[in-house]
Structure 1
Amino acid sequence: MATINWAVDPTHSEVQFKVKHLMITTVTGYFKNFNIEAVTADEDFTKAERVVFTADVNSISTNNEQRDTHLKSPDFFDAEKYSEVRFEASRYEAAGGNDYKLHGNLTIRDVTKPVTVNVEFGGIVVDPYGQTKAGFTVNTKISRKEFGLTWNAVTEAGSVVVSDEIKLQAEIQLVKQA
């Protein structure tokens, strides 16, 4: 059984988060700089020996510089002290068809909690340049407050400005390393 290293293809991958603003609309943000290290037995991801995702907090973009600066501040991610979001998988489990559950630990700031991520496996193909690629659609929901992201404000009518629930979504393409 051969061990295979996989690296993220950043030009064909994206990581985003969605949060309700004033409980009436959704704001989308991205981590522009992120990395994924995966090691599998053959091309079978259910036999993953290692899957680690990291995102650079300083690469957050919501298309609003003032909001991005606030997100990087101690009110939220505190990027100066905690520059990285990290997910380290412990188990990749078949959930039927092309659906899987990726179990692991998510670390935001100085808080680490177990998280289960939904994964839709898109398959493995060889691209026109001879590179073997694997594709995944990933999503989950987390409570930001559980990770120490507790800042909020209340409107005059009593609504919260930022919801607790954060939706995390990603389109990931991995490249088999020689």
Structure 2
Amino acid sequence: MTQTKWLSDVTHSELGFKIRHLMISNVTGSFRDFQVAVDAPGDDFSKAQVKLTARMDSVSTNNEQRDAHLRNSDFFEVEKHPELEFVSTGIERKSEDTFELRGNLTLKGITRPVQLHVEHNGTTKDPWGNERAGFFVTGKIERSQWGINFNSVLETGGIALGEEVKIQSELELVKQAVAVPA
């Protein structure tokens, strides 16, 4: 069967996260510069290989001071570790439109396995004839497993930042043209 390549349409995709702040609310953020590549046999996403790369210096929480802090050695160390990478190791179909995606996440030079929940929102043709597929991806990681340990103790005895980081992403993939031998 022919392999089909799908690439993310970054203008219609988001790579987001949220973390507990002061134990009472969440701060959300995203990476603005990222790419997802999916190779699948035909249109069968249950057997796909997935690779995501994101530029760590593209982190945005809509607060310049906080973003600068996230880029330094307290958090991402972007000068030393400029990219985040996820490479799939397996996919399990849970229902017609849901999957469990397993893979290795490399962040700050540390690679650890993660598991993500994927909802396939459908496939359609756009007005220009391109085939597109939409996905909603969620998951959770513990930031200390990647050496991200910065925190502050509050006067009330709590901590400023939660350990758990929730991943929440919307992906729109575009099927790439297949070169036909002459």
What TM-score, normalized by structure 2, do the two folds share? 0.95
State the match for 1:123 in structure 2: 122
Structure 1 stretches lacking a partner, 5+ long: none
User: Following superposition of structure 1 onto structure 2, how do residues 148-159 of structure 1 map, counting pairs within 5 Å?
Assistant: 148-159=147-158
Residues of 1 paired with 2:69 and 2:114: CA distance? 25
User: Following superposition of structure 1 onto structure 2, how do residues 72-151 of structure 1 map, counting pairs within 5 Å?
Assistant: 72-151=71-150
In the TM superposition, residue 156 of structure 1 has moved relative to its aligned partner by: 1.1
In the TM superposition, residue 53 of structure 1 has moved relative to its aligned partner by: 0.5
What's the % identity of the aligned pairs? 45
Structure 2 residue matching 1:155: 3-state secondary structure: coil
Question: Structure 1 counterpart of 2:5, which letter?
Answer: N
State the match for 1:8 in structure 2: 8
Root mean square deviation of aligned Cα:
0.7
User: Following superposition of structure 1 onto structure 2, how do residues 21-36 of structure 1 map, counting pairs within 5 Å?
Assistant: 21-36=21-36
In the TM superposition, residue 158 of structure 1 has moved relative to its aligned partner by: 1.2
Structure 1 residue runs of 4 or more that deviate by more than 6 Å after TM superposition: none
Residues of 1 paired with 2:123 and 2:43: CA distance? 8
Per-residue CA deviations over 1:128-167 (Å, capped at 9, x if unaligned) read 1100001100000000011100011101111100100000
State the match for 2:40 in structure 1: 40
Residues of 2 paired with 1:42 and 1:109: CA distance? 34
State the match for 2:171 in structure 1: 172
In the TM superposition, residue 35 of structure 1 has moved relative to its aligned partner by: 0.4
Residues of 1 paired with 2:15 and 2:47: CA distance? 24
Residues of 1 paired with 2:82 and 2:109: CA distance? 11
Residues of 1 paired with 2:122 and 2:29: CA distance? 27
Residues of 1 paired with 2:11 and 2:79: CA distance? 27
Per-residue CA deviations over 1:11-43 (Å, capped at 9, x if unaligned) read 110011100110111100010010011111101
Question: Structure 2 counterpart of 1:33, which letter?
Answer: D
In the TM superposition, residue 97 of structure 1 has moved relative to its aligned partner by: 3.1
Structure 2 stretches lacking a partner, 5+ long: 178-182
Residues of 2 paired with 1:33 and 1:11: CA distance? 10
Structure 2 residue matching 1:114: 3-state secondary structure: strand
Residues of 1 paired with 2:131 and 2:109: CA distance? 36
Structure 2 residue matching 1:96: 3-state secondary structure: coil
Question: Structure 2 counterpart of 1:144, which letter?
Answer: R
Q: How many residues are matched?
A: 177
Structure 1 residue matching 2:104: 3-state secondary structure: strand
User: Following superposition of structure 1 onto structure 2, how do residues 44-63 of structure 1 map, counting pairs within 5 Å?
Assistant: 44-48=44-48, 50-63=49-62
Residues of 1 paired with 2:79 and 2:67: CA distance? 14
Question: Structure 2 counterpart of 1:98, which letter?
Answer: D
Worse overlay, 94-103 or 138-147: 94-103
